[in-house]
Structure 1
Amino acid sequence: MDQHPSESGAGFAGLGLRPELLAALTNLGYEEPTPIQQEAIPPLVAGNDLVGQAATGTGKTAAFALPVLQRLTVGSRDTAPTSLVLVPTRELAEQVSQAVHRYGRDLGVRVLPVYGGQPIGRQLQALQRGVDVVVGTPGRVLDHIERATLRLSEVRTVVLDEADEMLDMGFAEDIEAILAETPEGRQTVLFSATMPPRIDSIARRHLREPVRITMGRKSLASDELPLVRQSAYIVARAHKPAALGRILDVEAPTAAIVFCRTREEVDQVTETLNGRGYRAEALHGGMSQDQRDRVMGRLRGGSTELLVATDVAARGLDVEQLTHVINFNVPTAPEAYVHRIGRVGRAGREGSAITLAEPREQRMLKAIERLTRQRITLEKLPTVTDLRARRMEVTRTALQASLEADDLERFRVVLDSLTDEFDVENIALAAVKLLHEAAGGDREEDEIPSPVAPPVSRTPQDRDKRQGGRPTRSSASVARLFFGIGRRAGLRPQDLVGAIAGESGLSAREIGAIQITDRFSLVEVPEPAADMVIAAMQRSTIRGRRPTVRRERVGR
């Protein structure tokens, strides 16, 4: 169902959500549903099972979280949860838990993330006090079930989020065991970026006549696409504001639109850019028409160089001098990406489309490439050295423009008063220094750390070459890590994959061959990520233990 958000203006209010949720969405700055939310929320609110094919970044967390909260009994103090969300990694468990808490704050929702690596005592205390929604990784949820500290007999809704990722991590048996502990009459929701046969098999066994939704499968004709330079930077969420500022410093756009998802994000990004010295203006649905008109007037008049906007607020805008469109997040639907970048590719004008993507959002970039049949080049973030060189070039260009203007005579009195004491060359250097500093050229910058390398692309033939249930790689590109835990502790391959992916952020697809013996295990990981994995695993537990983790010693 390749649709865009509703044009009716009803927004979230037209989806039958309770007033507390609508108020929370308004306060968070969400202006209207994304396509997956528009399609998924009504059948979920009605109690249907659902299978949704949608990539990360499409807004699917709200698509299942809002219906879960819709069914929440306000004021209930039962200790057993009524909803369970299973996710593949610790990071996603935290993200989903935070989102549910934000949406359901006015309802007093009690939500608990459970995952490996966190002290289990804290989770036990919260479960004893009572929770409404549990968001967890399969391994830790099953651990609580086996300890009899988590009862699922009252669960009314189960959500399997990123189902294909969980299966890739070896959690299929755990998921089956967990579902067996839930009531037969529950509502079951499954979201997955891809739909391999094994996902469809789970849906057939555990879902009852589910509504099926598939987002973003259409292709566009070449004449529908703008001719612009398309690039993306892979950046961790925490470093996005700094990365945006650095990219703008290097790109130096004449005029640009920075697209954000929510009003709140628009305001935050606008404040950050103004603090960096840019003339940035916010544009979102919370502004009156007069305010919007004044902002657009300043942009077209050149007194504003950056417009930070939501999709809704930017509809219909056409700015003649626009040179850049920047996606602060990967757009919620591939079609939205095409609409955005079309603003700089009209009538033969040159332009650039730049996207900041989190490591988990690379699937969405691939979906956009399939839709547009155009390549999005992955670029490396400018370093501090690159930034300094660019600022020095800006200073040189400003000086050249001043020299060509030929209106310098009135400053000769200053020069004459200094030449008796100082060399003319040193006077010129001091003037350049003052100009450079006044333009912020010596502003201190910290290097932005690179996220974990993206998953290695594999062909179908590569996927057939498996050892111990994991893909193999050439020894030149991998490091073998020693884990001081083995079969005697009940260790399974999925325990290692889940722990490494959950604690280090490494994708399950990047973890290579696994060898488990009675007392220890060996795991292949990409060489560039080896030290990061070791550091992360030294702070975590596996099967209730904290094993020694180090590089394999030669000769073992």
Structure 2
Amino acid sequence: MALLSALSRSVAGLAAPSNASRVQGRVVASARFSAAARQACFRPTTTASVSAVRASRVPAVASRLRAISSDSATAVVEGSGDDEDDLKGLVDNKVGALYADVDVDDLFGSDDEEEEDDEDHAPARGAAVPDHSGSNPDKMHVDNFPLSEITKAALKKRGIETLFDIQANVLAPALEGRDVVGRARTGTGKTLGFSLPIIESLLTSGDSRDARPRCIVLAPTRELANQVEKEIEATVPSMRTLCVYGGVAIANQERALRRGVDFVVGTPGRLIDLIQRGSLQLDNIQYCVLDEADQMLAVGFEEDVERIMQEIPEQRQTFLFSATMPAWVKRVTQKYLRDAVTIDLVGDSKQKVASTIDVMSCACSHQSRTTILADLVTVYGKGAKAICFTQTKREADEVTAALGRRMATEVLHGDIAQAQRERTLKRFRDGRFSVLVATDVAARGLDITDVDLVVHYELPHDTESFVHRCGRTGRANKQGSAIAMYTPREQYRVKTIVRETGVTFREINPPTGAEVMTASAEQASHEMALVDDDLLPYFTPTAEKILASLDSDAEARSPVEVVAAALAAISGHTEPPPPRSMLTGDVGLTTLVARADLLLPRDLLRAMSNVSRAAADGVGRIRVLEDNDGLCFDIAHEQVKPLLAAADEGALDGIGIEVANTLPKMVAERERGGYGGRGGGRGRGGRG
């Protein structure tokens, strides 16, 4: 029965491989607390001041309840007068049922408090900002920061128990009202870094709400704008948020603005359109955020940004986040931010890629690039989410078509309509397909937390794009991998990236056929496990027929072989992988290792020519092994057996030849030419 079940699952998996989907839950707010209430209810006091504190707690608690909901606060406070016990009873009866997360005793505070100086605990304006970088997780726990209980509860329901460095360092000066300039690596929680203090300030302000937005966030791309809006909505779902960008009907955005919003997040171009139409009023803006300011410059939004900044009241708090500080960003900082504090977690460090990312490089030929890409995704992606970056839209379409023959793949680039873009991203987040092929512009601002692998199908021309691409994985302190594919002609770009970003590449070879088959089998096994039991009855009759045929046919496959065949079919492999170079990934070549004392490339080629001129002419690039332990080279697959036979017979002047199952360590190749053979140029051992 176990074998029958496994076989049924294999057939079902082959027919319709299933993917686990993730459901995002909304966080429901429970309560909000005001700064006045925190001071009145939680600040330690002397015994002499207890009565004064008790007298002040009634309006303080009322203020905190007002932040929960104006309706419930009104119902609770009406008729309570100045008697704390009456108010506490009403809170317990009427509000406690609505907001079960709130401890009413905590809301009112305790009279059994120790004596302490009654000064503000926040640092004075202009004081040094406490550095939380590198703090241990306990110190970074959300309970150790001046956040309201509603915010803490929302964060914890989202699985956020600790703050990242950028969030912890920004919080204190931002809650003081300071303008903030933040620098941190991609994927380190910058969005929550500026949204947390703004949310806290709005919750505790006690200001009445009207239709006009109180916070505006400028983002360079629609994807980043969507990400920011969702982050804010998840942290404080009771506040009204709106994301605006081009490519969709502006009328819907105007209607939402008329209904009223607290946060408006958008791209500068659409924000300008709404301002010009009179739909977006900025006279009530208290907080302004420029997110990824350097990318605003990169996509040509600098004029729009400055125009919007001039429309916002001067009495505002401004946050500017930028990975780099080009001249325009510095000028905007000086012109529009006042007495700003800089939180720089990058500094002069050249290491611009997060330490949570394993960055690898893989040499390949232009002809074999697409095939090697599919193998890299299979072996290193392991069926999880992967993003492949291309330079052009045409290339993105071609790669998608090629990968689609082996794995579920979709594309994202500038020619994709906005509605389709959003459907594609949702399907990717939900795990409906595993590989997203995207251009740099289309992928700006993508925030998909569980991307395991990023592949640079072609290296970008600027290092900032490389850093941004890598930042799509290894986010939120999770581990990720990035692979840079390059041809010999692109090797200089790898060196430029190393020099300008400080990243250390781990060189890998194109996966062997055996590695690809093993990884494919593991993924197929995982897909079999995802098949719903209710689906098995539809495939059980066929599975029974297959098992019955095993008993009647002596030459039939064994049960294990039948399951193995099903796994191969599920993974899309019905034939053995063709021979392929371990050095370049080129199909039809086999990589060999030659060993002899003091062996030079010219000695190898001379010995091979004496046996077979065709074999010598078919030699590809020759690589020298470390410690002069031999040579590694490619040869046409049909020449392998004759050459091995000649070596066994001693016809190669004592040179031993063997097929490379794994690549030995080799001396770094010269920047140009290599070491002779086909494509070897004039390197050492060349025959020209």
TM superposition score category, shorter chain reference:
0.3 to 0.5
Q: TM-score, normalised by structure 1?
A: 0.48
